[in-house]
Amino acid sequence: KAGVTQTPRYLIKTRGQQVTLSCSPISGHRSVSWYQQTPGQGLQFLFEYFSETQRNKGNFPGRFSGRQFSNSRSEMNVSTLELGDSALYLCASSFYGVDTEAFFGQGTRLTVV
Amino acid sequence: DAKTTQPPSMDCAEGRAANLPCNHSTISGNEYVYWYRQIHSQGPQYIIHGLKNNETNEMASLIITEDRKSSTLILPHATLRDTAVYYCIVRVDGTGGFKTIFGAGTRLFVKA
């Protein structure tokens, strides 16, 4: 079956702009989590959505937001981009619950200039 | 906020077993231990997970101590393609859901 699909793969934006990233989970998976990966901070949890509801949130400013649609596809939005937002953004989908593995997409590489 | 600690790097000879340790001394009774690996520029790949019993699959074995404060991932016959960053993580129950907290991971170098 198809894996987790993230679009776009690469993105270049200017400071102050906003950006929307998309994640299509594996068919049947209802949980989608988002992560930011930078060389300095490693992999950091942003938020998790399940059945269109945000269930958990990491320690990121309000400029980072997300949503999930009825088909489980999820979008992540970053407003007022800063240079420090340059990172690899990963999403992961899982069926349900803490005892099921999560499958990651290839990520979206965002560069803010 | 990572709940796990791992050595920053390890070497292993090709064909030998790679034993990657992880400390998770503050783990709660209902929290699972997961292992993922990340090969350069790719998304993390699931390897194995467990609660308190040892687990084995086609990729690896997971040995969890009886007190659950530490675990070891074993790659029985490491190959050059196993060179990656290995993350030991704990799935934390949140309010009605869960989140995954990654530590810094162990960079495994498999050498010929």
Q: How far apart are CA A60 and CA B67, in angstroms?
A: 34
Give pLDDT tens digits for B3-50.
889 999 999 999 999 999 999 888 887 788 899 999 987 899 999 999
- The two tokens of residue B74 are 């074993």
Taking contacts as CB-CB distances below 8 angstroms, the residues of chain A near B92 are 98
Q: In chain B, what residues touch A58 (CB-CB under 8 Å)?
A: 99
Yes or no: say if B37 and B29 are a contact pair by the CB < 8 Å rule.
no
Cis peptide before B7 (omega within 30 of 0): no
Q: Looking at residue B59, what is its pLDDT?
A: 94
Give per-residue pLDDT as tens, A8-67.
999 999 999 999 999 999 999 999 999 999 988 888 989 889 889 998 888 899 999 999
- What average pLDDT does range A73-98 have in this prediction? 92
Integer Cα distance of B45 and B59 in angstroms: 11
The CA distance from B19 to B22, in Å, is 10
Which residue did the predictor score with more confidence, B25 or B62? B62
Q: Give chain B's largest Cα–Cα span.
A: 47
- pLDDT for B2 equals 53
Interface touch A104/B97, C-beta < 8 Å: no
Instruction: Please compute the mean of the pLDDT values over residues B101-107 and round it to a whole number.
Output: 86
Q: If we measure between CA atoms, which residue out of A21, A23, A31, A30 comes closest to residue A3? A: A23
Proportion of chain B above pLDDT 90, given as a percent: 63
Measured CA distances, A27 to A23, A47, A51, B96, B102 (Å): 12, 20, 13, 22, 25
Whether B98 has its CB under 8 Å from any CB of chain A: the answer is yes
Closest CA of chain A from B74, distance in Å: 18
Q: How close B77 gets to chain A, by Cα (Å)?
A: 23
| Structure confidence at residue A1 as a pLDDT band (50, 70, 90) | low
Identify all chain B residues contacting A101, using CB atoms and an 8 Å cutoff: 34, 46, 49
List chain A residues with CB under 8 Å of B31. Answer: 98
Cα nearest neighbour of B31 on chain A: A98
Among A9, A10, A8, A88, which residue's Cα sits nearest to residue A46? A88
Considering only the beta carbons, identify the residue of B34, B36, B100 that sits closest to A45: B100
